[in-house]
Structure 1
Amino acid sequence: MNDYNSTAVSADERLWGLFAHLSTFIGLVIPLGSLLGPLVVWLIKKDTMPFVNDQGKEALNFNITVLIAAVVSGVLTLVLIGFLLLMVVALGWIVLSIIAAMAANRGEAYRYPFTLRLVK
């Protein structure tokens, strides 16, 4: 885990870090956009901006975890508990993505809770 001093992170890096987290909401319009948005931001800026490399991976890992949780919840709708779980997953996805975007905008490296770190 990298610790960044908010004064050491440039305004451009903070903006791209913000985009890495907010680009997840493309998934509301485009299927699997919640994965594609952070992936594109990460791939474009990972070699030139260390902060965006870190936050892009974090956003991508979180959205992979959310996708897995949504699929499991979808299967569990067969026994009715899945409907509640889908609402919890959706609410957590929205709230945590906004919190992460605000932290990135301040130059803080945000770590999502309960996230599988598959992309290293």
Structure 2
Amino acid sequence: MRDTNHTPDEPFSATEDRQWASFAHFGGAIAILGFFSSWAAVLAILPALIIYLVLGKRGHLTRDEAREALNFQITMVGAIIVWAIVATILGALFWWLGPVWLVLGPLFQIIGWALVIVDVIFSIIGGVRVNNGSSYRYPFALRLVH
């Protein structure tokens, strides 16, 4: 039986490095689905952030992929926050215009769900690609964490 006890700063094996790197991507998808219905959607950045800060120094792939996943989650959470603010402001301004809001209301719901679906799809693609041994770069993300 293999010894699985590691010291906190011991480098990851190649398998562990790939595993934690893929968890950074999958974590965003799981978190955004769990928290989308409330303000807690901002917690979607936590899986990648924790992996980046706590485990990033133990594996090069883990650090790089957690940083990429973190940048993507920051971008998506930012987009969701902007969407929520705009939807709230327009909802407050136009609630009395029944016919207008009958069109805008469902449109804003579709946009909100589209943001979540895009987040989940790209996070799963990233996790699968990394788990299969390659790296993944999201097609769009603000590269705020370097």
Alpha-carbon spacing, 1:17–1:100, altered in 2? closer, same or farther (3 Å): same
The residue aligned with 2:81 is 71
**Cα distance, 1:17 vs structure 2:** 0.8
**Cα distance, 1:94 vs structure 2:** 0.8
Could you say what the CA RMSD is over the residues aligned between the two structures, in angstroms? 1.9
The residue aligned with 1:114 is 140
Structure 1 Cα separation of the partners of residues 46 and 65 of structure 2: 15
**Cα distance, 1:37 vs structure 2:** 1.0
Structure 2 Cα separation of the partners of residues 33 and 18 of structure 1: 18
Structure 1 Cα separation of the partners of residues 56 and 70 of structure 2: 13
The residue aligned with 1:55 is 65
Structure 1 Cα separation of the partners of residues 140 and 108 of structure 2: 18
More helix per residue? 2
The answer to whether structure 1 residue 26 and structure 2 residue 31 are counterparts is yes
The residue aligned with 2:120 is 94
For 1:115, what is the secondary structure of its paired residue? coil
Could you list the runs of 4 or more consecutive aligned residues of structure 1 that deviate by over 3 angstroms after TM superposition?
Answer: none
State whether residues 75 and 82 of structure 1, in contact with CA within 8 Å, keep that contact through their aligned partners in structure 2: no
Structure 2 Cα separation of the partners of residues 106 and 45 of structure 1: 20
Say which one has the larger Rg: 2
* Ranges in structure 1 where 5+ consecutive residues have no aligned partner: 1-8
State whether residues 35 and 63 of structure 1, in contact with CA within 8 Å, keep that contact through their aligned partners in structure 2: yes
**Cα distance, 1:73 vs structure 2:** 1.4
The residue aligned with 1:40 is 50
State whether residues 74 and 83 of structure 1, in contact with CA within 8 Å, keep that contact through their aligned partners in structure 2: no
**Cα distance, 1:112 vs structure 2:** 0.8
The residue aligned with 1:6 is none
> What is the count of residue pairs matched by the alignment?
112
Structure 2 Cα separation of the partners of residues 82 and 65 of structure 1: 19
State whether residues 100 and 112 of structure 1, in contact with CA within 8 Å, keep that contact through their aligned partners in structure 2: yes
What TM-score comes out, normalization by structure 2 length? 0.70
The residue aligned with 1:4 is none
